[in-house]
Structure 1
Amino acid sequence: MSYEDNATRLFIIGSHASHTMSSDLWNPVFEELGNCWTYQPWDVPAQGEMQDVRNGLLAADVIGANVTMPHKQWAAAIADERSEQVSLSGAANLLIRQDDQLSAYNTDLIAVETGLATKSHDHVLLLGAGGAARAALVALKGRIGTIIITDRHRDVAEELLTLAKGMGIPGRTVDFSQVAEAATQATLIINATPIGKDPKDPAPWGKARLRPGTFVYDFVYCEHVTGTILSAIDQGLEYSDGWEHLLLQAEAMIPLLGLGEQTAAQLRLSLKRIRDSY
């Protein structure tokens, strides 16, 4: 993919975009690659003026934007073109500008496919029902036996369950108060909520003991090890943390942005520098 010579800006759009690590991850990579691209946070509150955001992304010097909470479904809805995965999930975390149009992709989905779709999962507990959860669900299509979905907003969980059933996945929703019980039945637990951002956050299932062999997948990355991952480590379970997810979804952006193969190695070095600084 090629861009106009003056197209140099990439953004991350979200209600707390300036608190993400994405700029720290990507800007050293662009510097090492010797191009003049920059990656900038763009804080847009949940009730922000989204038409202005879309208009801003169509500026001639903009390449595109990653999109994070709570705007992933907005990104899918306003795109002029959508990948098949975006159309199915109803969520996008990457918008790329081509002339006066925006194309939507979901590299969260590609990351989950890479990390989890190599085998089937009998009983899945999905924590959260937003854009990340939608990506995880679609990524595992055809590899889920049953699913339990929980979200603090029960109507949102029910909406996602409808999508799951439409894909042939039986399941149910539960209140957050029932997470501990549901977790003990799961063979795969996916945390697609912000739980864990605060170092005081315990694992969503508290002190419950999980089934041997359960796999824990956490979308949350931060300076500390999350309670979710600490619980998995304590119980001797396999896991994938939010840093791994961040890297996998970033690597999935490389061909979409037309970057060279050396970009993957630079991303890994950049991520290692960030983690070593904590």
Structure 2
Amino acid sequence: MTRPYAEVIGDPIAQSKSPVIHNFWLEKLGIDAEYRRCQVRPDELTDYFVQRRGDAAWRGCNVTMPHKLAVMDLVSDLSPLARRVGAANVVIPQDLGLAAGNTDATGFAEPLAGRRFDHAIVVGAGGAARAVLAALAGRATWITILNRDADKAQALLDELVPAGAATALDGTIDQPADLLVNASSLGMAGQPDLPDLERHVMPDGLVYDLVYAPLETPLLKAARARGLATIDGLEMLIGQAGEAFERFFGAPAPRQYDAELRVLLTPDRGPRQAL
């Protein structure tokens, strides 16, 4: 029998850390399966699913850019959360077709541990921001969306946020926040840094940066210098992968090894820095 497998698809795909995560868990659990990368260009997406549906060893795939929107039109079953977010990042084969869901929102929310917020600032208006906003529904009383394109921020606000405001990245923020989330590419290696938005966060507030390359972003470094609590991008990356892993392989991810996994994902950092 062919060895079971799942994979992550996107274009490009070489940078994905998902195979490291899933294969680490498979080894820990002793499951005879594998997780791969597969580059799929936009014009190949439909054919990809036709081919995989005919492969009994295929257990599904994670979906990354630029396919998170397009896959929603290629499945027969779309989860309510994926519908609300407006993006899907996991596809699973079913007897009568394909089912798609979204684990980004739940992966983002996992380290928040049910915490609620009076005012959350979210930077970005792309797919990651959509997942963050869906996860914050019912958790944040007021949400301010900041984006380089203020019109895009306003459109996202109108669609997903019941109470909030939208402004350009350098716009005015009238009230302090107890949560700041960077859901943009700013601060990523090769990208410009965020402006010093951590100054808008209250002393007991939280700064959460979804960027994980580098792991210690300028935003997190500045927040820690102020004594603010922080969450780095590996938390969401590992959290969203854990939910997908169980869907693919039928066993809960062995999250008791998260500290070891974080070291594996950050080979350029010492163990004490990576935890």
TM category (shorter chain) comes to 0.7 to 0.9
What displacement does 1:183 show? 9.2
In structure 1, the residue matched to 2:164 is: 171
In structure 1, the residue matched to 2:207 is: 216
In structure 2, the residue matched to 1:185 is: 176
Q: Which amino acid aligns with 1:171?
A: G
Contact in 2 for aligned 1:132/1:192 (Cα 8 Å)? yes
What displacement does 1:172 show? 2.4
In structure 2, the residue matched to 1:241 is: 232
1:206 aligns with 2:196: yes
In structure 1, the residue matched to 2:71 is: 75
- Distance (whole Å) between structure 2 residues aligned to residue 255 and residue 55 of structure 1: 23
- Distance (whole Å) between structure 1 residues aligned to residue 198 and residue 180 of structure 2: 13
Instruction: Calculate the TM-score normalised by the size of structure 1.
Output: 0.83
In structure 2, the residue matched to 1:116 is: 112
Q: Which amino acid aligns with 1:52?
A: D
Q: CA separation of 1:220/1:73 partners in 2, compared to 1, >3 Å: closer, same or farther?
A: same
- Distance (whole Å) between structure 2 residues aligned to residue 77 and residue 241 of structure 1: 32
Selected match of 2:84 from 88, 96, 117: 88
What displacement does 1:12 show? 1.5
In structure 1, the residue matched to 2:99 is: 103
Contact in 1 for aligned 2:198/2:223 (Cα 8 Å)? no
What displacement does 1:119 show? 2.5
Paired residues for 1:122-133 under 5 Å:
122-133=118-129
RMSD: 2.7
Instruction: Calculate the TM-score normalised by the size of structure 2.
Output: 0.84
Q: CA separation of 1:107/1:229 partners in 2, compared to 1, >3 Å: closer, same or farther?
A: same
Q: Which amino acid aligns with 1:149?
A: I
In structure 2, the residue matched to 1:230 is: 221
Contact in 2 for aligned 1:123/1:186 (Cα 8 Å)? yes
- Distance (whole Å) between structure 1 residues aligned to residue 31 and residue 51 of structure 2: 22
- Distance (whole Å) between structure 2 residues aligned to residue 138 and residue 117 of structure 1: 16
- Distance (whole Å) between structure 2 residues aligned to residue 183 and residue 235 of structure 1: 20
Q: CA separation of 1:142/1:274 partners in 2, compared to 1, >3 Å: closer, same or farther?
A: closer
- Distance (whole Å) between structure 1 residues aligned to residue 135 and residue 198 of structure 2: 27
In structure 1, the residue matched to 2:23 is: 27
In structure 2, the residue matched to 1:158 is: 154
Greater alpha carbon shift after TM alignment, 66-75 vs 260-269: 260-269
Q: Which amino acid aligns with 1:273?
A: L
Q: What percent identity do the matched residue pairs reach?
A: 30
Greater alpha carbon shift after TM alignment, 267-276 vs 106-115: 267-276
- Distance (whole Å) between structure 2 residues aligned to residue 142 and residue 207 of structure 1: 24
What displacement does 1:243 show? 0.9
Greater alpha carbon shift after TM alignment, 255-264 vs 105-114: 255-264
Q: CA separation of 1:266/1:158 partners in 2, compared to 1, >3 Å: closer, same or farther?
A: same
Q: Which amino acid aligns with 1:255?
A: E
Q: CA separation of 1:236/1:15 partners in 2, compared to 1, >3 Å: closer, same or farther?
A: farther
Contact in 1 for aligned 2:245/2:253 (Cα 8 Å)? no
Q: Which amino acid aligns with 2:247?
A: L
